[in-house]
């Protein structure tokens, strides 16, 4: 099966927005949504601890799948991850993720 994905980068003066989209089966949709909800519930220190726990306790395959990417995006952006899963059919949803990253150094 072909992969259906898209990545967009929109730059503004102080913020760069990254929009990512990918077709997901409904089962994967619910799993990703649970991870994203957990990540968005954490503060800066909580994200740091989750990142360490994933590195320490997870075997990462060649395809990834440990959830480090979501955690890393949340840590580096300093903002909540914006996401939605519009339904494409009874079997698939389209995963949309938006991350805003400040261009200014802290």
Q: Summarize pLDDT for 37-62 with one digit per residue, the tens.
A: 999 999 999 999 999 998 888 766 66
Query: How many other CB atoms are found less than 10 A from the CB of residue 9?
Result: 10
**63 pLDDT exceeds 80?**
no
Burial environment of residue 66 by CB neighbours within 10 A (0 to 12, 13 to 18, 19 or more): middle
**Would you state the pLDDT for residue 15?**
72
Write out the H or E segment, with its range, that includes residue 54. helix 44-57
Question: Do residues 85 and 93 touch, judged by C-beta distance below 8 A?
Answer: yes
Residues 6+ apart with CB under 8 A from 44: 75, 78
Query: How many other CB atoms are found less than 10 A from the CB of residue 94?
Result: 17
């Amino acid at each position: 099966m072909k992969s259906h994905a898209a990545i967009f980068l929109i730059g503004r003066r102080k913020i760069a927005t990254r929009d990512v989209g990918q077709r997901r089966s409904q089962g994967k949709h619910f799993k990703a949504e649970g991870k994203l909800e957990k990540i968005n519930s954490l503060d800066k220190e909580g994200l740091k601890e989750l990142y360490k726990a994933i590195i320490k306790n997870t075997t990462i395959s060649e395809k990834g799948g440990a959830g480090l990417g979501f955690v890393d995006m949340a840590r580096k952006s300093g903002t909540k991850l914006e996401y939605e899963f519009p339904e494409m059919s009874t079997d698939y949803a389209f995963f949309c993720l938006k991350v805003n990253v400040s261009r200014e150094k802290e």
